Amino acid sequence: MTWMTTTTTPELGGLVLDWFAVAARDLPWRHPGTTPWAVLVSEVMLQQTPVTRVLPVWEAWLARWPTPAALAAEPAGEAVRAWGRLGYPRRALRLHQAATAVVERHDGVIPAELDALLTLPGVGAYTARAVAAFAFRQRHPVVDVNVRRLYARAVEGRADPPATVSRRDLAAVAELLPADAETAAMTSAALMELGALVCVARTPRCPACPLLGQCAWVAAGSPAGTGPARRPQGYAGTDRQVRGRLLAVLRDAEHPVDRMLLDQVWDEPVQRGRALAGLIEDGLVAELSPGVYALPA
DNA sequence: AATCCGTGGAA
DNA sequence: TTTCCAAGGAT
């Protein structure tokens, strides 16, 4: 792969790095010596999940499963149980699948190549590049929602980023990165941190921003965006809520549970049945015998 | 491309 | 109280 070496705003990276050196949070997965496996676990846990909720689960997870092989040696249900209430429990299942794939295909070693990372379950365009950059110190554009929002504002002058990430977005962010791989990796972490702490979604703290003087959005008068797209529905009453309740019962149970116990979490039988069937379909729940359920083996 | 997939804190 | 949204991925 060939990288662009020109930079449209060569000073941006330096400003962000200087700010990062002073303002960055002390997050354990950024400490030197953090294994690629630990970085991967952090990235998957952080998908759509705030840092403060990830921290204790990440610590416990790695204390119990310090290597992919350690996790792969246990039932997938143990991963789902250890996931706790982080949300989107399919991530736990995929992390277990990824650990298994790493053991089977990579001798238990997290691969450093982007293409190999992309084949792992639960590892998409963002997570693969995050691992390649943060664990292996390679030069890749690491574009999450923070970076997209920061880029939309500082460079494009727009209040909000586009809904989806395109290849052109990746290329555009790549142009912001310095040529040196180690510095590029640190710049990516800094861009994410700035988006997470200063250039936040609802009320950006522009006075604290190192890019204030060159921000295209501020220069344009900080025009309001179109606002968030209306969510089709809230959370209460959805299948997601029912699935969450069902899985919570199984997570907290040390033994298989009867259907009668699961039936108590939701009154409406059709939706309840649909939710349970969905969990089984997803591999998050196993039916050991008719009417008896547990986390998967 | 649009939708689905959890959870809980902050405003 | 309700709404927003948080280091996305799979289909």
pLDDT tens digit string along A136-183?
A: 999 999 999 999 999 999 999 999 999 889 999 999 999 999 999 999
**Strand pairing partners for A294?**
A286
User: What pLDDT is recorded for position A107?
Assistant: 98
- Protein-contacted positions of strand B (CB under 7 Å): 1-9, 11
- Rounded Cα distance, A94 and A97, in Å: 5
**Strand pairing partners for A289?**
A292
Helix (H) or strand (E) holding A88: none
**Strand pairing partners for A293?**
A257, A287
User: What pLDDT is recorded for position A233?
Assistant: 65
Clarify whether A254 is annotated catalytic: no
Choose, from A11, A43, A59, A254, the residue flagged as catalytic.
Answer: A43
Residue nearest to nucleotide B1 (CA to C1'): A164
A49 CA, C8 C1': Å apart: 10
Nearest CA among A163, A118, A133, A120 for reference residue A145: A163
User: What pLDDT is recorded for position A163?
Assistant: 86
Decide: A126 and A142 in contact? Cβ < 8 Å. yes
Residue nearest to nucleotide C10 (CA to C1'): A122
Q: Write down the residue that tokens 């050991």 correspond to.
A: A288
A23 CA, C5 C1': Å apart: 23
Tokens read off for A139: 């030069």
Q: Which residues touch strand C (CB under 7 A)?
A: A 27, 29-30, 42-43, 46-51, 87-88, 94, 121-128, 130, 144-146, 192-193, 195-196, 200-202, 227-228, 230-231, 234-235
Percent of chain A with pLDDT over 70: 94
Q: Write down the residue that tokens 């998967």 correspond to.
A: A296
Nearest CA among A126, A111, A220 for reference residue A173: A126
A234 CA, C3 C1': Å apart: 9
List, for chain A, all residue ranges whose pLDDT scores fall below the cut of 50: 1-8
User: What pLDDT is recorded for position A234?
Assistant: 81
What would the pLDDT profile of A203-230 be if each residue is shown by its tens digit?
999 999 999 999 999 999 999 988 766 5
User: What pLDDT is recorded for position A3?
Assistant: 33
Question: How is A221-248 classified by DSSP, letter by letter?
Answer: T------PPPPSS-STTSHHHHHHHHHH
| Count of C-beta atoms within a 10 Å radius of residue A202 | 5
Nearest nucleotide to the CA of A279, by C1', is B5
For chain A, list the domains and their CATH numbers: 10-219 (1.10.340.30), 239-294 (1.10.10)
